[in-house]
Structure 1
Amino acid sequence: MYRKVEHSQTLFINTQTKKMVDQNKEVFRFGFGQSPFMPPQNVQSALREAIGHKEYSSVQGDPELREHIARFHFEHNGLRTRAEDVLVGPGSKILIFTLLMAVQEADVLIPAPAWVSYGPQAQLAGHHVITLPTSYEKRWRITVEALHRAVKSKKFANTILILNYPGNPDGLTYSREELMEISQVARTHRIIVVSDEIYGLLHHQNSHLSFAAFYPERTITTTGLSKWCGAGGWRLGAALLSEGLEPALKEALLGIGSETYSCAPVPVQMAAKVAYQDYKKIKPYISRQTQILKTIGNYCCEKLVTARIKVHPPEGGFYLFLDFSEWKDRLEKRGITTSNELCSALLEEKGVVLLPSEAFGFEPSFLGARLAYVDFDEPHEEESFVIKTHAPKISGGIQALVEWVGDL
C-alpha cells in the first residue's frame, strides 16, 4: 500500500548518537558528516538582517545570487556557467532528486562506495540502478572498464552517471587524467553526468577540477553552502547546468521545483549572496578550514594504518573510508561477519560511532565503514590548531578504535 523507503543512514546515526550523549555515555561521533565550522560572521549577519524577507522568490532563485554563484565558481576553479543556467534550491539533495525526476526511465550508474541517498533517490524516481564496483587498490575510483560493462547492461535509452568528488564516504578525488578518460566514455554514450561537487571547495590542495570542464555537453554540477560554509541546516544548494544540455531539461527542473519546493528560503538566499559575493575575500576562511581538516585527516589516517586498517590519505572534505578486511578472520571468531555487526560492536564496546559500508552500496559481508572526522569545536581564529588540544574527541576516538582492533 505504501512505498518502502529506508531512512537515511546518516540522519539515523545522528539521531542515535544524540540519544547516547543525552544518556551521558561517552561517544566518539564519527558517524555524521556535519561541518563544525560556523559560517563567516558577515554571512551570519546577513541572515539576521534578512529576516524581513518573507516573500517567495522565483523557483530558479534570486537573479543576483545566481550571478554571484556563477562568478564565484569561475573564480574558484574556472567552471563556466551562465547565471541563467544556475538553479538555486533548498539544498543540493533535493536538487539531485529533482534532476533524477526530470529524466524519464534511465539507467543510473552509481559507484560503490557512494553517498547513501543516491540509490534510494534513483529508485524513488523509477530508474534502474547499476552499481559500479570499485576497490581499495583502485582508490575506490570507477574505471573506464567498469563504465563500459555497465553500459552493456543498460535497460533504458537514457543513462545518468552520478559522480561525487572529493567523495563521501572516501574523502578522495579524481585526477585530471581520470576525469578525461571518464568524460570520453560519457561522450561516446551520451551520458548525463550529475557531478556532485559539494566538497569541491574543501579540496585539501585547493586544486579541485570540475567535471563540466571536461564534458560541457551534458554535465550538471551540484554544490551548496552546507560543507564549505558550515551551513547544512540552512538548506541552500545550487545546480549549475553546462552549456550543452537541452533547454527541455531546465524547463523540467523548474516545473518540478514549482510543484514541490517552490523556492529556497529567501532569507537564506540573501545571506548566500554575501557568501558567494567575492571568492577572493572568502578564500582565507576556506583555506583555514582545509588546513585544519587536512591535519586531522592525515593524523587519523596515520594512526589507523598502524593498526592494519586499510585507508587512503584524504584529499578533500572530512571523511575516511576504512577497510577492515585484514582482520576478517579474527572478526569472524568474534561472530562479526558484516559491516553492521562491526559498527555495532565498536559502538557498544568503545562508544565509537562509524557508518557501515553496507549503507554506501556494498554487500553486508564487506567489512568497511565510514569515519567522519568532525567531532571537534572550531578553534578561535587567533589560535594555532593542535589536535589533542582542540580535537580531543578525535584523538580519543581514534585511540579507542586502534585499541579495539589491537584486542581482536
Structure 2
Amino acid sequence: MYRKVEESQTLLINTQAKAMESQNKEVIKFGFGQSPFLPPNHVINALKEAAHRKEYSSVQGDLELRKLMSNFHMAHNGLKVDPDNILVAPGSKILLYTIMLAFEQADVLMPVPSWVSYAPQANLAGHHLIKLNTTYEERWRITPKIMEEAIKGKHHKDTIMLLNYPGNPDGLTYSQSELEAIAQVAKKHNILVISDEIYGLLSFDGPHASFANYYPERTITTTGLSKWCGAGGWRLGAAFLYDGIEKEFKQALIGIGSETYSCAPSPVQMAAKEAYADYNGISEYVSYQTKILQKIGMFCATTLNAAGILVTPPQGGFYIFLDFTMFKDTLSQKGITTSNELCAQLLKETGVMILPSSAFGFNTDHLGARLAFVDFDEPVPQEEFSLKKHGTRVIKGIELIVEWIESYRI
C-alpha cells in the first residue's frame, strides 16, 4: 500500500492556472502566493557570479552566511541566535518537516486557518494532529483559552505548536500582549513552538515581533528568502534554534538533513550572503515592497467588505482571507455548499482563481477562501506605484468577485 499524499493545493492551483492560460483563457491569479518582486540586482548578480560553485556545503549551511543571518535578524527585530544554532536548507518547508520528523510521536497543535502543508507534514511524520479552531470575530487568532482546550486532547508526551504570522492565509499578525499570553501557555505545558516567520520582514507597521523573544526556551524560528527577497524558486530557508537546545535534538535535525536534502545549493547560499549582508542596506528595498503590498491589500479588503464578504485588513505579507458564510443560504440555493465548489464556480464563471478554505484546515462546508493579491506588475525603477496602472488585474479580479457574489443575491 502507498501513502495517500495529495499534491499541495498551492502548487496544484498554479499548474491549473498555467493550463488555462495555455488554452488562451484569461486567468486572474489570486491562488498562488508567489512574490511579484524581483530580488535586488546585487543579489541576482551574486547568484550569477557564483554559478560555478558546485561543491557541497556542510548540512548546517555556510558558516559565514549563518553569521550574517544572525546579525541581520538582530538588527531587524532583536532576534538573538548563535550562528551555530542556525540550520540552512533548500527552503524553510523542508526544515519544518525535518523538525517534525525528529520526534517519534508527538501531538501537533495547528491553528485553523493555517498554511496548507502543516497538516500533511504532521500526518506524514505520523503525529497526532490537533486543530486550534479560530473565528473571524477573533481575527483568526489563537488564544490561551483555545490552546488550553486543545491540550486536553493530547495523546503523547511531546507537543509541537505551529505559529505563523504575518499569516498565510490571512495576512494577520499578533500584538505584543497576544504573544505574551500565548507564550505563557506554551511555557506552562513545555510546548515546542515552530514559529514560521517567513513573512516577518513584510510586516506593514514596524518591525516584526519574533515569538522567540517572548518564549526563548523552546521556540524554533523559520524564515528564508522566498517572500521578502522575492526568491521562492531559489529555495533558501533557515531555522533558528533556541539556546541550550538538547544535543540529541540538534543532532537529529542535522542527521535528517544529511540523509535527505544534504545541503542548500551552494550558488544560492553565496547569493544569500549578499541578501543578508546588511539589514540597513536592504531595509529600503523591503519598505518599498511593504508600502505597495499594504496599498493593494487595503484596497482588496475594503472593496470586498463593502460587498458583504468578511475580510480582516492585512497587516503583512500578501494574503487576505475571505469569509463567505454570510451568503451560505444564497449560495446553497445555487448548489454551492463547499469551499471547493465556491472556488470552482468562481473560476469557471469569472476566471478568478482563489484557494478554498478546506486547504487551510477548515471542514469542507466552510465557505471561505484565500486570496493572494500578487497578480500585479512591479514598477520599473524610479517609477511610482499606481494601483490603476500596475494593479489593473487586481482591480479587475476584485470587481469580478464582487459582481459574481452580487449576481447570486438576485
**Structures share a fold, TM > 0.5?**
yes
What is the deviation of 1:121? 0.2
Question: Cα deviations across residues 112-170 of structure 1 (Å, max 9, x unaligned)?
Answer: 00000000001101100000000000000011111111111100000000000000000
Kept in 2: contact 1:336–1:342 (CA 8 A): yes
What is the deviation of 1:380? 1.5
* Aligned residue number for residue 171 of structure 1: 171
* Aligned residue number for residue 40 of structure 1: 40
Name the aligned partner's letter for residue 89 of structure 2. Answer: G
Structural mapping, 1:64-79, within 5 Å: 64-79=64-79
SS in 1 for 2:161: strand
1:24 to 2:24 alignment: yes
What is the deviation of 1:243? 1.2
SS in 2 for 1:162: strand
d(CA) in 2 for partners of 1:358 and 1:37?
28
* Aligned residue number for residue 355 of structure 2: 355
What is the deviation of 1:244? 4.0
What is the deviation of 1:6? 1.1
SS in 2 for 1:261: coil
* Aligned residue number for residue 141 of structure 2: 141
Name the aligned partner's letter for residue 31 of structure 2. Answer: G
Structural mapping, 1:124-203, within 5 Å: 124-203=124-203
Question: Cα deviations across residues 274-304 of structure 1 (Å, max 9, x unaligned)?
Answer: 0000000000000000000000000001110
SS in 2 for 1:365: coil
What is the deviation of 1:311? 0.4
Name the aligned partner's letter for residue 299 of structure 1. Answer: F
TM-score, structure 2 normalization: 0.99
What is the deviation of 1:250? 1.1
* Aligned residue number for residue 80 of structure 1: 80
SS in 1 for 2:159: strand
What is the deviation of 1:97? 0.3
d(CA) in 1 for partners of 2:14 and 2:186?
36
Name the aligned partner's letter for residue 232 of structure 2. Answer: G
Name the aligned partner's letter for residue 376 of structure 1. Answer: F
* Aligned residue number for residue 209 of structure 1: 209
Kept in 2: contact 1:219–1:245 (CA 8 A): no
1:326 to 2:316 alignment: no
d(CA) in 2 for partners of 1:313 and 1:295?
11
Aligned residues: 408
d(CA) in 1 for partners of 2:23 and 2:59?
43
Go from structure 1 to structure 2 and tell me whether the alpha carbon gap of 1:218 and 1:244 turns closer, same or farther (over 3 Å shift): farther
What is the deviation of 1:207? 2.4
After the TM superposition, which parts of structure 1 deviate over 4 Å for at least 4 consecutive aligned residues? Answer: none
SS in 2 for 1:341: helix
SS in 1 for 2:64: helix
Kept in 1: contact 2:76–2:207 (CA 8 A): no
What is the deviation of 1:7? 0.8
* Aligned residue number for residue 364 of structure 2: 364
SS in 2 for 1:349: helix
Kept in 1: contact 2:112–2:133 (CA 8 A): yes
Kept in 2: contact 1:216–1:244 (CA 8 A): no
Question: Cα deviations across residues 260-280 of structure 1 (Å, max 9, x unaligned)?
Answer: 100000000000000000000
1:335 to 2:335 alignment: yes
Instruction: Give % identity.
Output: 62
TM-score, structure 1 normalization: 0.99
Q: More deviation in 181-190 or 20-29? A: 20-29
Question: Gaps spanning 5+ residues in structure 1: where?
Answer: none
d(CA) in 2 for partners of 1:244 and 1:50?
35
SS in 2 for 1:209: coil
Name the aligned partner's letter for residue 135 of structure 1. Answer: T
1:300 to 2:309 alignment: no
* Aligned residue number for residue 393 of structure 1: 393
Give the alignment's Cα RMSD to 1 decimal.
Answer: 0.6
Question: Gaps spanning 5+ residues in structure 2: where?
Answer: none
* Aligned residue number for residue 3 of structure 2: 3
Kept in 2: contact 1:91–1:238 (CA 8 A): yes
Q: More deviation in 380-389 or 7-16? A: 380-389
d(CA) in 2 for partners of 1:119 and 1:305?
30
